[in-house]
Amino acid sequence: MCKIFVTKPYLPPQDEYTSQVEKIFQACQLTNQGPRLRELEEKIQSFLKVPHFQYVTNGTIALQLALEALDIREGEIITTPFSYVATTSSILWQRCKPIFVDIEPHNFTIDVSKIEAAITSKTRAIMPVHVFGYACDTEQIENIARKHGLKVIYDAAHAFASVYKGRSLCGYGDVSTLSFHATKLYHTVEGGACIVRDEIVNTKLDLIKRFGHNGNTHLCLGINGKQSEFHAAMGLAIWPHLTEIVQARKRISAEYDELLAGAIGRPMEQKDLLYNYAYYPVLFKNEAQLLRVFAALEKEDIYPRRYFYPSLNTLPYLQEKQHCPVSEDICSRIACLPLYPALAITDVRRIAHIILENL
């Protein structure tokens, strides 16, 4: 029997990828904003209906580019402890200090009622995460940011194809960043994007991702955040399958819902959100129960993931200990179940059955 992991990268029919690659061989341009990349940018931008969209190397560089383009190189950034490590590491690479504000227990996003108390004279920005594709309270965050003159950068790595209050969940804040890593709902092997509200910031970000120069004129400190034609080609090959990917995830999630209803903790449904089914997080009663179920699943070669673990405020290389009791509790007992289009419904039933037997 094949091993089942928490996710499995989606691959398009091989000929659909090779026909995109053929166009690269004809055009003879491999990178530096080539025709495949520009076509992909246009497709995604019109799908998301956002003003500015830049496809970049990955979701981590996207966060760093966002901070640099907003001139944030020092001071404090308010962020969430419940995310992938890249949310925090991008802040540290930018030589800023992450200030962790605890999460709310229903959808695991930053607790907006606790943000204002964390603001000091050094605060420059708020960096929340639409974790698992659930929406942060964007309205409250916008109000707080406006009142205190702060920038908002959403790590929207999980939010692709989620629609919140009638528009893309990736379109909020001064900048929203995406990841198109192979494990994400929609991917380009490696890849990411910045969605920028302001035209001037957008131009700056575009310059920074290309080493900060136009020809021989060096305008600012830059980095290499450009993406290649081959990555864009994978994105274009997968693009026509996006709806079927989301639908397949929805079907699997509905099956889990039915089989596990009432037996295990789940995030709250958000009424203003058209969910993208990016993940299937479940909340155990305690860590012992989680470990017991994991052990039983592993015996059957099924490997869910502790997502996210540990809580980022406890990272060993942080200079100072900050406490986030809600996040630390959730991290100790949350996991994501296998969810990807190729997962057979019979396997979903098998997984649910093992979970129910071992709770």
Ligand X SMILES: *Cc1c(COP(=O)(O)O)cnc(C)c1O
Q: In the range 78-107, which residues lie near ligand X by CB under 6 A?
A: 83-84, 86-87
State yes or no: residue 179 binds ligand X (CB under 6 A). Answer: yes
Q: Which is nearer to ligand X, 29 or 183 (CB)?
A: 183
Cα–Cα distance between 275 and 171 in angstroms, integer?
Answer: 15
State yes or no: residue 204 binds ligand X (CB under 6 A). Answer: no
Q: Which of 24, 37, 129, 252 binds ligand X (CB under 6 A)?
A: 129
Cα–Cα distance between 72 and 122 in angstroms, integer?
Answer: 11
Determine the interface stretch with ligand X among 2-10, 155-163, 209-217, 320-328 (rule: CB under 6 A). 155-163
Q: Which of 181, 204, 209, 333 binds ligand X (CB under 6 A)?
A: 181
Determine the interface stretch with ligand X among 31-39, 54-62, 133-141, 336-344 (rule: CB under 6 A). 54-62
∠ CA 208-211-214 to the nearest 5 degrees?
Answer: 90
Minimum CB distance to ligand X, residue 86 (Å): 4
Q: In the range 236-275, which residues lie near ligand X by CB under 6 A?
A: none
State yes or no: residue 58 binds ligand X (CB under 6 A). Answer: yes
- Strand 76-79 to 97-100 pairing: parallel
Q: Which is nearer to ligand X, 59 or 98 (CB)?
A: 59
Cα–Cα distance between 250 and 133 in angstroms, integer?
Answer: 13
Q: Which is nearer to ligand X, 60 or 94 (CB)?
A: 60
State yes or no: residue 169 binds ligand X (CB under 6 A). Answer: no
Determine the interface stretch with ligand X among 47-55, 107-115, 151-159, 201-209 (rule: CB under 6 A). 151-159
Q: Which is nearer to ligand X, 89 or 314 (CB)?
A: 89
State yes or no: residue 157 binds ligand X (CB under 6 A). Answer: yes
Q: For binding to ligand X (CB under 6 A), which residues are involved?
A: 58-60, 83-84, 86-87, 129, 155, 157-158, 179, 181, 192
